[in-house]
Amino acid sequence: MKSRTLKNPEDLTEAGAARKPAGFRLADWSWSWSPRSEREAGDAVVTNFLLHWFPNKISLASLSVKYSFWLGTITAFLFFYLVFTGVILMFHYIPSVERAYASIKDIEFAISYGAFLRASHRIAAHMMVAMVFLHMVRVFLTGSYRNGGLARQFRPLNWWIGLVLLVLTLFLSFTGYLLPWDQLAYWAITVGTNIAQAVPGYGDEIRFFLLGGNEINQNTLIRFYVLHCMFLPLIVTGLFLWHMWRIRKDGMACDDRLALEERAQESRPTPSKTYSLLGVTAGRTATVEASLVDEDKHKVRAVPAVVRRITIVCLLTFALTSALAVWLGSPLEEAANPMVTPNPAKAPWYFLWLQELVAITTIRLGGFTINGGFLGGVLIPSAMLLWGFLTPFIDKSSRSAVGVWFSRERRLQNTIFIIVCLAVIALTYLGTYMRGPYWTVIWPWQAWPEFPPQL
Ligand code: HEM
């Protein structure tokens, strides 16, 4: 028999053996946990489908909890956990006005682990709204929507994708709110869609489009069901993948400074590799620049460093979600009844700041009334959204402020942003805990008055 000559002595190692094409191998999925050599760690990123989107090495700065608090990763985990629990719920839920409430009751009281599943889905949805908001706050306060001076970066795009993801997350949650078809669901959607009605000229059309008619009925339920279970999750998945790809292209904002600092004290020969046609390029890309950073000092291998951290973050999020699901459960009121209006009727909590704005800006001066529905429900939130989209252009701070928490240079921007965020949080708190019947303010030291529901 002819003996095999080994061109590469490394082929004798287990890493070499693992590199041979052998169809599906469990090892290809599991070895990434504890690679036995540098080579194996590098191979893991290339050969493992799930790890493919990581660079081979990642800076310690971008992995630091103090920088990102892993809020984006937590949001991503919650989204995929929602898809997982949601698909199981779909096996039991019936999107029909006559049967939806009964099917939720079955999930809650008859199906094994149904109550836990439903509560997990609901808690994860609330948490995702909160986490995506906090993630945006951290991105803003670190100025991570700006380019750091490396070639072919366009961070504003990822900021805009993020803003769309934020709005879609709110709509994902909003469309799910109606599905239990109980009083809470019915009236929250009534209030929510009434706010949309305040758009001048087209308000009625928008409400009609949202509800599939003039009132909440079977059309609305099936519309919200399809949006919630298919349409919005698919768009969010697509945008999420785009978001991640942009991060790979632009690099994490905190790494720009490191790359620029290294460039400043560079004593090495300039690399010629530019990844561009004929080497013609405006500068070095984030990937090339990052590869120049002193690896030993500032970087670790993505495998296992990132894999382990992501696993820990996901497990902790899962544990917290499960604990809250067991502790809080999920509410289920009486079946939806259009004839019985709860007092007060409240929008879902993340739209309560809008409901508050509508209430506060509705001012009557003699015979003259300022339309709060338009001012608070449409004009102010639209202006905020526009400000969000224009932010990367409005911010003229220098590149050294990119990826830095509370940079002195961005004091004004950060102060305005924090004030706006605190106002939104305060209004949400006011609407959630301090608004009683007829939308009167009930202070913590006052007793909560009992009013019969309005018939
Ligand atoms: C479904 C919603 C979202 C998901 C799943 C998501 C996920 C992520 C992840 C995993 C990262 C990596 C860093 C980290 O963990 O913080 C990241 C970074 C980033 N996200 Fe998001 N994100 C979402 C929404 C948003 C929103 C609402 C914004 C802003 C309006 C935003 C803007 C950014 C930017 C600019 C970066 C790069 C940050 C840097 O370079 O330091 N994202 N996102």
> Which pLDDT tens digit goes with each residue over 292-313?
666 667 888 888 889 899 999 9
| Overall number of domains in the chain | 1
How far is the centre of ligand 1, averaged over its atoms, from the C-alpha of 163 (Å)? 10
Query: Residue 75: CB within 6 Å of ligand 1?
Result: yes
What predicted TM-score, i.e. pTM, was given to this entire model? 0.87
Ligand 1: residue whose CA is nearest its atom 11:
72
Q: What pLDDT does residue 447 have?
A: 86
- Is pLDDT above 80 for 21? no
How far is the centre of ligand 1, averaged over its atoms, from the C-alpha of 368 (Å)? 45
Q: Which two tokens stand for residue 8?
A: 């590469």
Domain assignment present for residue 134? The answer is yes
- Is pLDDT above 70 for 102? yes
- Going by C-alpha positions, the residue among 160, 154, 157, 163 that lies closest to residue 132 is 163
Domain assignment present for residue 190? The answer is yes
- Is pLDDT above 60 for 353? yes
Domain assignment present for residue 174? The answer is yes
Ligand 1: residue whose CA is nearest its atom 22:
72
Domain assignment present for residue 7? The answer is no
Query: Residue 137: CB within 6 Å of ligand 1?
Result: no
Q: What pLDDT does residue 302 have?
A: 86
Q: What pLDDT does residue 1 have?
A: 41
- Is pLDDT above 60 for 81? yes
Lowest mean pLDDT among 17-21, 98-102, 149-153, 287-291: 17-21
Q: How far is CA 160 from CA 134, 157, 259, 448, in A?
A: 16, 5, 25, 43
Domain assignment present for residue 194? The answer is yes
Q: HSE (CB half, 13 Å, CA atoms) of 78?
A: 26
Q: What pLDDT does residue 132 have?
A: 98
Q: What pLDDT does residue 127 have?
A: 98
Q: What pLDDT does residue 37 have?
A: 76
Q: What is the pLDDT of residues 157-195, one digit of tens each?
A: 999 999 999 999 999 999 999 999 999 999 999 998 988
Query: Residue 134: CB within 6 Å of ligand 1?
Result: no
Segment 408-420 mean pLDDT? 96
Q: What pLDDT does residue 11 have?
A: 43
Structural contact between residues 377 and 383, judged by C-beta atoms closer than 8 angstroms: no
Q: What pLDDT does residue 261 have?
A: 73
Quick one: which atom of ligand 1 is closest to the CA of 75? 5
Q: What pLDDT does residue 12 have?
A: 38
CATH of the domain at 118: 1.20.810.10
Structural contact between residues 402 and 395, judged by C-beta atoms closer than 8 angstroms: no
Q: What pLDDT does residue 199 have?
A: 82
Quick one: which atom of ligand 1 is closest to the CA of 68? 16
- Is pLDDT above 60 for 290? yes
Domain assignment present for residue 71? The answer is yes
Domain assignment present for residue 100? The answer is yes
Query: Residue 247: CB within 6 Å of ligand 1?
Result: yes
- Max CA distance (Å), the chain: 105
Segment 29-38 mean pLDDT? 68
Residue of 242, 243, 313, 314 to mutate, ligand 1, most atoms within 8 A of C-beta: 243
Query: Residue 132: CB within 6 Å of ligand 1?
Result: yes
Query: Residue 158: CB within 6 Å of ligand 1?
Result: yes
User: Residue 363, SS3?
Assistant: strand
Q: What percent of the chain has pLDDT over 70?
A: 84
How far is the centre of ligand 1, averaged over its atoms, from the C-alpha of 244 (Å)? 8
Q: What pLDDT does residue 2 have?
A: 43
Domain residues for the domain of 260 are 57-266+278-342
Q: What pLDDT does residue 366 have?
A: 75
Listed in sequence order, the DSSP H helices in 142-252 are: 155-177, 183-196, 203-211, 218-226, 232-250
* 196: confidence class by pLDDT, cuts 50, 70, 90: confident
Q: What percent of the chain has pLDDT over 90?
A: 61
Query: Residue 240: CB within 6 Å of ligand 1?
Result: yes
The counts of H helices and E strands in the chain are 21, 4
Query: Residue 76: CB within 6 Å of ligand 1?
Result: yes
DSSP one-letter code for 24: S
Average pLDDT over the chain reads: 86
Identify the bridge partners of residue 58 per DSSP, sorted by sequence position. Answer: 300
Q: What is the pLDDT of residues 216-264, one digit of tens each?
A: 999 999 999 999 999 999 999 999 999 999 999 999 999 987 777 777 7
* 4: confidence class by pLDDT, cuts 50, 70, 90: very low
Domain assignment present for residue 113? The answer is yes
* 324: confidence class by pLDDT, cuts 50, 70, 90: very high
Query: Residue 380: CB within 6 Å of ligand 1?
Result: no
Ligand 1: residue whose CA is nearest its atom 5:
76
Structural contact between residues 155 and 144, judged by C-beta atoms closer than 8 angstroms: yes
Segment 32-36 mean pLDDT? 69
How far is the centre of ligand 1, averaged over its atoms, from the C-alpha of 212 (Å)? 33
* 6: confidence class by pLDDT, cuts 50, 70, 90: very low
Query: Residue 391: CB within 6 Å of ligand 1?
Result: no
Sign (positive or negative) of CA dihedral 110, 116, 117, 118: positive
